[in-house]
Structure 1
Amino acid sequence: MSPTTSTTSVDVLILGAGISGLNSAYRIQTQAPKGTTYTILEARDQLGGTWDFFKYPGLRSDSDLHTFGFAWHPWTARIPIADGDSICTYLREAAAKYGLDKQIRFRHRATKTEWDSGTRRWRVTAGTPEGERVFEARWLVVGTGYYDYDKPLEAVIPGLQNFKGTIVHPQFWPTNLDYAGKRVVIIGSGATAVTLLPVLAETAARVTMLQRSPGYILALPQADPVGKLLHAILPQRVASWIDRMRFMLVAYSFYYFCRAWPGLAKAVLAKATAAQLPPGLPVKPHFEPRYNPWEQRLCLCPDGDFFQALRAGKADVATGVIREVKEGGVELMDGTFLPADVLVTATGLKILFAGGVELRADGERLEPGEKFMWKGVMMQDVPNASFVIGYPNASWTLGADATAQMTTRLLRMMKEKGAAAVVPRLDVEGMQPSAMLNLSSTYLEVAKDRMPKAGTVGQWRPRGNYFGDMWQAKYGDVVSGLEWVPEREEEVKVNGVKENGTNGHVRYSG
């Protein structure tokens, strides 16, 4: 070991101090066996993850904060969609209130994790400004999110090198970028583009959102008279719980409506969109997606600010394929030319499972793309590790909490049963793979070979919804597909019957 390397030992090591890591920390602090120690490693110098990293104008949530916020620290502001600064403030307040911030090691970038079956512990190497540090833990929680902070999704834009103006990607927005009075073309049609357009339009000469194909955009009122009434007549915690439930139920109801009756849902969304558009701007082709509602995420715009910018006449939408980027703008295949001083390449995020941390077990490199996920929480053949993955059709935090609840349940059972490790083992012959995140978005399609898979039966099926997954986390089957490793190589008792473990492995009944 080099002079700059030191070792710290804890029961649980959490990677990432964003939404996933903080929620996991709270659940471990309050629900894991008494005396469980934990530490959070955060590569950056602030907590908040995504919300502290991104700096582009108008950064905001794409889910309501009543469900995107923590169940144990309710969102109390009377608006459902919040900007990035407000979310960071909320996360810092939650971390400070419950002492989670005291367990964070900032500027600790995990680079390598290795499971040692001899010691039955994880050994995690982290780079710091002072040199490498090593952490050992019984359990590993990977809460790093799912995309690459260093590299965005690469998109082929013909002739981009010809452009003489400013090119910027939202992931690396320069703080000194001056777009006032300038012509801006945003290439992309996802949530980032929909967020950017109304803010840039406030001071830019003209903003055009250039899309190859449109997506669904839904206006969400920020005013909440029902919530205001509830908070006026009920205790805050009760009113906040009702807020969370009603926003969750409305979102899930709309999702299942869209999947059950896609044609009707498409018509409803088209009618709602047409009512928001300025005269002369047709729904087709600019707001008629090729896919059905909720085959990709819907873009939310608070109070219809995206449509307000269009109606104000300082922004518009162009739909077409780029022929070539010229010195002063973008030429489309149909001959349309969009003049520009600034090009914003809002082409998406690059998926990076587990934050790009190298995963190994007993010297063997683990390839996530070759593995199945057990209950959407643990990876096949990877002992004592939880991977926090949210929902494609609901707030990320809901999925993070289902993962945290399952993790703490397994930790309690390990103590009760005297187990040193629990390992997901594929127990179904010829398992067929399915998508873990059931959306057709380009950034997910591109990365599907690098992401772990869901199965089609049993414990390996993809997650359904928050309510079912929380029931599974608290009361569901934790026998099928799991191998429990006892503390000592000796006879162990299972359901009151002594059995000899094979190679130290034994299955416990939950």
Structure 2
Amino acid sequence: MSEHVDVLVIGAGLSGIGAAYRLQTTCPRLSYAILEARNAIGGTWDLFRYPGVRSDSDMFTLSYPFRPWRRPYAIGAGDTIRAYIRATAAAYGIDRRIRFGRRAESASWSSATGRWTVRTATGDEYRCTFLYLCTGYYRYSAGYEADFVDRARFAGTVVHPQQWPDDLDHTGARVAVIGSGTTAVTLVPALAGDAAHVTMVQRSPSYLISLPNHAHEREQLGPVRSRFVRARNVLLSTAMYQASRRWPERVATRLREGVARQLPPDVPVEPHFLPRYRPWDQRLCVVPNGDLFQAMRAGDVSVVTGTIDRFTEKGLRMHDGTEVEADIVVTATGLTMVAFGEMTLTVDGRVVRPESLQVYKGMMFDGLPNLAWCLGYTNSSWTLRADLASRYVCRLLNYMTRHHIDMVTPRRDPADSGSDVPLLDLTSGYVRRAAAQMPRQGARWPWRHRNNYLTDLPRMRVGRIDDGAMTFARTGGDA
């Protein structure tokens, strides 16, 4: 089949549904459709089904500003978030615009026609004036698997959280969870309730912060109260990040002290909870209601810190000789980052290499016409930045309509070519592994992505479209 729309959105997850709402309310005269590779709405929150999966940032800022989170708890379970996204799509008729089972494989731009042509794995073809990628930045087909020695020798079950089997029963089993990030910190207490014992095996610890998450299912926050909590949480998270950048040692000490107060007497902070990096060099791991520490104090969870030497028939052997026996090993070893949802992009027959691109306003790219990639914050809730990006896309589209413009392309001044830093300002393993294949950023705005909602808000909502870096053209001639 072949279809033409003004705007084609790729992805029906949290970002894609939010983008669709902004398009149909802010650009009502423009047609749009959403291509979704899977057969369900929800993106990340439909894919991840491991025990205990939950948000790693508060729902008051992770939810849409046009449909505030009304529940009285901040950390949402995966199924609750999935239901929220689907209900939003249904409430605004967005679900009728989704083409399910359409995995976009390639997109080619023609300057002669001012159109993108997108081809899917099923052989369908879609044409659009503007292409908006709401695909996130990790590979859906598989997470990152470390190359462990003798893995095949293990007599038990090995599973990655991204492909959690529906029929995996951990009741009464000894479970080893390899990892120390958000996924591991979520999985360990969730498994501890039914497993015989859970061991968190970590090469190096992460910064953890325990936050209250009291849930009263029958209560709902009013819209005014919900918006107040959202604004408060934006300010608190921004202040926390800025303090971490300005006074890293002081913040690190406070975080370690907070963890130490909740540990059982026989578990020392060092080495198990003494990270090697500064706070917010990697994402902070939230522990709702201190559930991880509760499980440790109950004796259901232990922590082993060190390097894994190899798998054995019975579990894992550490370099220091420690044996971790297990029936199930969970490799919570991280994600695999990809650019543009693994789509192949070409512009007038030239293949686009993502690593050669420089990001513009955190969403568009030098020399890439009529395309935006929706990326959220790494130091705060994803949706805060994703919604700003979608609002900016709508402002740009309306500007194009008013001025009869066919093509918009960011163009970097050659004088700005001296700076070249990674797109994401994190030292996490999944970021480092993919850095050489991802777009880059420059030294200053609009080529630098600052990860600050309070400064981004006025720039994206009311900043000039014709800022000197964006070029405009009509098909067949300059605008």
CA–CA distance in structure 1, aligned partners of residues 315 and 215 of structure 2: 42
- For structure 1, which segment, 425-434 or 92-101, has the greater mean C-alpha deviation from structure 2 after superposition? 425-434
CA–CA distance in structure 1, aligned partners of residues 138 and 303 of structure 2: 28
Correspondence for 1:403: 389
The answer (yes or no) to whether the contact 2:388–2:461 under 8 Å persists in 1 is no
Correspondence for 2:266: 280
Correspondence for 1:181: 172
The answer (yes or no) to whether the contact 1:391–1:437 under 8 Å persists in 2 is no
Q: 2:433 aligns with which of 446, 449, 470?
A: 446
Q: Deviations over 1:104-138 (max 9, x none)?
A: 1111111111111111011111234xxx2111111
Correspondence for 1:499: none
Q: Residue 465 of structure 1: CA displacement?
A: 1.3
| Secondary structure of 2:311 counterpart | strand
Correspondence for 2:235: 249
CA–CA distance in structure 2, aligned partners of residues 357 and 464 of structure 1: 25
Is residue 288 of structure 2 the alignment partner of residue 302 of structure 1? yes
Q: 2:254 aligns with which of 256, 259, 268?
A: 268
Q: Residue 47 of structure 1: CA displacement?
A: 0.4
The answer (yes or no) to whether the contact 1:390–1:396 under 8 Å persists in 2 is yes
| Secondary structure of 1:184 counterpart | strand
1:98-497 map, 5 Å:
98-128=92-122, 132-223=123-214, 231=221, 236-429=222-415, 430-478=417-465, 479-487=467-475, 489=476
Q: Residue 224 of structure 1: CA displacement?
A: 8.3
- For structure 1, which segment, 299-308 or 453-462, has the greater mean C-alpha deviation from structure 2 after superposition? 453-462
Q: Deviations over 1:145-200 (max 9, x none)?
A: 11111121131222212111111111111111111111111111110000000011
- For structure 1, which segment, 455-464 or 109-118, has the greater mean C-alpha deviation from structure 2 after superposition? 455-464
Q: 2:42 aligns with which of 48, 69, 88?
A: 48
Q: Deviations over 1:389-432 (max 9, x none)?
A: 11110011111111101101110110111100101111132331
CA–CA distance in structure 2, aligned partners of residues 141 and 346 of structure 1: 31
Deviating above 4 A after TM superposition, structure 1's stretches of 4 or more consecutive aligned residues are none
The answer (yes or no) to whether the contact 2:379–2:451 under 8 Å persists in 1 is no
| Secondary structure of 2:362 counterpart | coil
Alignment gaps of 5+ in structure 1: 1-5, 490-503
The answer (yes or no) to whether the contact 2:392–2:461 under 8 Å persists in 1 is yes
Identical positions, percent: 43
The answer (yes or no) to whether the contact 1:14–1:141 under 8 Å persists in 2 is yes
The answer (yes or no) to whether the contact 1:41–1:105 under 8 Å persists in 2 is yes
| Secondary structure of 1:460 counterpart | coil
| Secondary structure of 2:55 counterpart | coil
What amino acid is the match of 1:346? Answer: A
Scaled by the length of structure 2, the TM-score of the pair is 0.97
CA–CA distance in structure 2, aligned partners of residues 447 and 338 of structure 1: 31
Alignment gaps of 5+ in structure 2: none
RMSD of aligned Cα (Å): 1.4
Q: Deviations over 1:243-264 (max 9, x none)?
A: 1101111111111111111111
